[in-house]
Amino acid sequence: MSNTTTLNFTLSEELNAIKELTQNFADNEIRPVALQFDESQEFPYEIFAKLGELGLLGILIPTEYDGSGLGYQEYAIIVEEIARACPAIALGVAAHNGLCTNHIFRFGSDEIKQKYIPILATGKTMGAWGLTEPSAGSDAGGTRTTAVLEGDYYILNGSKNFITHGNVGNIALIMAVTDKSKGKHGISAFAIDKSMNGFYGSKKENKLGMRCSDTASLTFDNVRVPKNHLIGNAGEGFLQALQILDGGRISIAALSVGTAQAALDASLKYTNERMQFGKRLHEFQGIQFKLAKMAMDIEAARLLTYKAAWMKDRGENITLIAAQAKLFASEIAVRACEEAVQIHGGYGYIKEYPVEKLYRDVKLLTIGEGTSEVQKMVIARNLLNK
């Protein structure tokens, strides 16, 4: 056999070590309190502080900026393992690492990176990433928030909605229009923080699932942003955001795989315990078929997700594969959680069993970071070279 193997589906020692570390933390510190935080809808500050200490809030950031210096393969495995214990906390990890921190790190000047990245990477504050607006969701090119240059400052006005960490995050990366005549190419990115007057979070959403994740609106009321807080050049914000979303979709795919796996784990346990007609549930072929389909879908989603992460770490274009992974993994996760509730019968509908929360949490995954329909548009555009 040749030494230059081109396919390798085995996790390296390092990846296995990271998986084990995250799994231990998730099992011991997250799973036992996941339902409690879901019910109270409080942001789990202590858990995020510990995630920061473990280096899991600066995953993609080099060590010179106090990050962990890891890649997307590690990132995917970390998000997957946290999602197995609580998808809502995994959502926070994904938004903080993959969107806000990553955007500032990838496109920001040295000065801005020095100012914000070490604080974000160590979890001293959470980061928010603001693209969505009340009238600009899937059609982000319709952004209305404006940034007008006056002397050494951009003056920001407008609002964002549905922003993860909108209230609990002190630092945000937001997109605003600097030149309306240029359409999408007149949208720019800014790194801002809540010491700037007129920038505040508001209207915490009361959600179906992901309830301990802080989802809120952001308001910009004549915020004076020093012009060196522009990220990259004026007009580059939209294209930067698309690249950030490509990577972000890997983490939503991983989150989906972890959530679906949690649904399968719970179903395997329950069908081994529950007796009906004098047999354990897993002895019925009708139930076995459901378990088999869930396991097959999860494995396929995991392979797509890991492939997308692997390609990202190799510096390849991932627009197509990341959209495929996000679409497939989120759709199978929704189905897996629904089957898990069905398998649990009436017990699946009550909060004593974990599948009730999974069923509510999972639906966000076909919506956030581009809906399933948007992923299909991205995939088709790539196939048709449009």
Residues that bind ligand FAD (CB under 6 A): 95, 129-132, 137-138, 162-164, 207, 210, 215, 364, 367-371, 373-374
Q: How far from each other are the two terminal CA atoms of the chain, in whole angstroms?
A: 42
Q: Which helix (H) or strand (E) holds 222?
A: strand 215-226
The per-residue b/e assignment along 86-123, b for 16 or more CB within 10 angstroms, e otherwise, is bbbbbbbbbbbbbbbbbbbbebbeeebbebbbbbbbbb
Q: Longest Cα pair distance anywhere in the chain, in angstroms? A: 79
- Annotated active-site residue 369? The verdict is yes
DSSP per position, 139-184: -GGG---EEEEETTEEEEEEEEEEEETTTTEEEEEEEEES-GGGGG
The answer to whether the CB of 193 falls within 8 A of the CB of 169 is no
Q: Measured from the CB atom, is 147 or 374 closer to ligand FAD?
A: 374
Closest approach of ligand FAD to the CB of residue 314, in Å: 27
d(CA 315, CA 304): 17
Q: Return the structure tokens found at 313.
A: 């770490």
Q: Measured from the CB atom, is 17 or 380 closer to ligand FAD?
A: 380
Q: Measured from the CB atom, is 23 or 371 closer to ligand FAD?
A: 371
Burial of 229 per CB tally in 10 Å (0-12, 13-18, 19+): buried
Q: Is 152 left (phi over 0), alpha (psi -120 to 50) or beta?
A: alpha
d(CA 96, CA 301): 23
The three-state secondary structure class of 12 is coil
Closest approach of ligand FAD to the CB of residue 346, in Å: 28
Q: Return the structure tokens found at 131.
A: 């693209």
Closest approach of ligand FAD to the CB of residue 219, in Å: 15
Q: Which residues contact 6 (CB under 8 A, 6 or more apart)?
A: none
d(CA 225, CA 153): 5
Q: Measured from the CB atom, is 123 or 127 closer to ligand FAD?
A: 127
Closest approach of ligand FAD to the CB of residue 279, in Å: 41
The answer to whether the CB of 307 falls within 8 A of the CB of 321 is yes
Closest approach of ligand FAD to the CB of residue 6, in Å: 36
d(CA 199, CA 221): 6
The answer to whether the CB of 311 falls within 8 A of the CB of 321 is yes
Q: Measured from the CB atom, is 157 or 159 closer to ligand FAD?
A: 159
Q: Measured from the CB atom, is 62 or 137 closer to ligand FAD?
A: 137
Q: Measured from the CB atom, is 161 or 267 closer to ligand FAD?
A: 161
Closest approach of ligand FAD to the CB of residue 240, in Å: 13
Q: Is 380 left (phi over 0), alpha (psi -120 to 50) or beta?
A: alpha
Closest approach of ligand FAD to the CB of residue 269, in Å: 28
Closest approach of ligand FAD to the CB of residue 338, in Å: 18
Q: Measured from the CB atom, is 73 or 143 closer to ligand FAD?
A: 143
Burial of 295 per CB tally in 10 Å (0-12, 13-18, 19+): middle
DSSP-derived letter for residue 177 is E
Pick the catalytic residue: 39, 316, 369, 373? 369
Where in the sequence numbering do the catalytic residues fall? Answer: 369
